[in-house]
Amino acid sequence: MPELPEVETTRRGITPFIADQEITEVRLRHTRLRVPVPADLPDRLTGARLGTPRRRAKYLLLPLENAPGTLLWHLGMSGSLRIARVGEAPKKHDHIDLVLESGRVLRYHDPRRFGFVDWLQADAARDSRLSHLGPEPLSDAFTGERLYRLSRGRRMAVKPFLMDNRVVVGVGNIYAAEALFIAGIDPRRAASRIARVRFDRLAAAAREVLAAAITQGGTTLRDFVSGQGEPGYFAQRLNVYGREGKPCRRCGALLKRVALGQRASVYCPVCQR
DNA sequence: CGTGGACCCTGTCGGC
DNA sequence: TGCCGACAGGGTCCAC
């Protein structure tokens, strides 16, 4: 379920259960993820102690405490991490267990297997998957000025531009659509043809929807990590995502859908220009 | 270099 | 009821 808010919710949810915990056993059931699970992962992790999880973009970083090295975990399209108990039988698509000394298990579930876990030896920031990433959307470095500057000469549609990890990380298909609605910008509009002041609004809108969604993730945190079930994906009211053909909540016009960069994009033909 | 398309894999849903 | 195609939260790679 991972857009940035889900990844952040996951990070917060698992942290109290895994920080400072020793890994007593690694159980691999399916190792053919998007990147094959490193064969030596059990050897490296068994007996090691986990530190405090961090997040960069949609990546979770699980550093070890007393040894160099970090787990780089991406949930892909359908991955989830949750806390289970030892002895709790794995279900279909539960591919990886990290058994902890507490008797809990950090369990990875991923039907589509677009996610992966990899081992980073030392300097995580140097990894090619992380080094090119733009700023976090909730950081001060993400501004309308940045969007404006990077968009000059870019003819691509603004929606895929906003989803470009070099521009800003963590704005996935759902939140890009929602941010563009709030900012009143047509997702098809060429990035180069958007004025500075409108990018200010767009940056603020992206920040706003992501922050709100993270706050909401918090409300379902307990259920999420204890494995009572998935959180209702979005308790949040979405304005456009998944609402093709329905009336715009602001003006009543019927929402339209277009494909941009292979991704569905729903928008209001009246409110978004 | 910028851009658009294919692709990795499984599950679900809507139309016929 | 059953089959089949379209589509799904992401990211990388490859032609043009």
**Tokens 């993730």 belong to which residue?**
A217
Q: Which of A107, A131, A155 is the last residue of a domain?
A: A131
| A272 in any annotated domain | no
Instruction: Assess whether A12 and A124 both reside in one domain.
Output: yes
Give residue A220's pLDDT: 45
Is position A160 annotated as part of the catalytic site? no
pLDDT tier at A218 (50, 70, 90 boundaries)?
low
Give residue A45's pLDDT: 96
Give residue A128's pLDDT: 87
Q: What residue numbers bound the domain in which A253 lies?
A: 144-267
Q: Which helix (H) or strand (E) covers residue A268, if one does?
A: none
Residues A21/A26/A29/A33 CA torsion (nearest 10 deg): 70
**Tokens 């531009």 belong to which residue?**
A161
What mean pLDDT comes out for the span A88-115?
96
CA separation for the pair A18, A25 (Å, rounded)? 13
**What one-character-per-residue DSSP string does A75-93 give?**
-TTT-EEEEEETTPPP-TT
Active-site residue, selected from the candidate residues A3, A6, A8, A178:
A3
A94-100 and A80-85 as β-strands: parallel, antiparallel, unpaired? Answer: unpaired
pLDDT at residue A222 above 60? no
CATH number of the domain bearing residue A173: 1.10.8.50
Give residue A112's pLDDT: 94
Nearest nucleotide (C1') to alpha carbon of A166? C11
What mean pLDDT comes out for the span A38-65?
96
Instruction: Assess whether A123 and A176 both reside in one domain.
Output: no
pLDDT at residue A271 above 80? yes
Instruction: Assess whether A16 and A126 both reside in one domain.
Output: yes
Residue A154 is labelled as binding a ligand = yes
Nucleotides, chain B, CB distance < 7 Å: 2-11
Is position A263 annotated as part of the catalytic site? yes
Mean pLDDT, chain A, whole residue set: 91
pLDDT more than 70, % of chain A: 93
Q: Which of A131, A163, A194 is the last residue of a domain?
A: A131
Instruction: Assess whether A127 and A159 both reside in one domain.
Output: no
Instruction: Assess whether A117 and A87 both reside in one domain.
Output: yes
| A114 in any annotated domain | yes
Instruction: Assess whether A119 and A152 both reside in one domain.
Output: no
Asked whether residue A12's C-beta has any atom of DNA/RNA strand C within 7 A, the reply is no
Greatest mean pLDDT among A55-64, A115-124, A219-228 lies in A55-64
Instruction: Assess whether A108 and A206 both reside in one domain.
Output: no
Instruction: Assess whether A104 and A27 both reside in one domain.
Output: yes
Coil, helix or strand at residue A23? strand
Chain segment A121-179, per-residue pLDDT in tens: 877 777 889 999 999 999 999 999 999 999 999 999 999 999 999 999 999 999 999 99
pLDDT tier at A226 (50, 70, 90 boundaries)?
very low
First-residue to last-residue Cα distance in chain A = 30
Number of domains in chain A: 2
Residue type, A129: R
Q: Which of A100, A131, A162 is the last residue of a domain?
A: A131
CATH number of the domain bearing residue A27: 3.20.190.10
| A273 in any annotated domain | no
Instruction: Assess whether A155 and A98 both reside in one domain.
Output: no
| A137 in any annotated domain | no
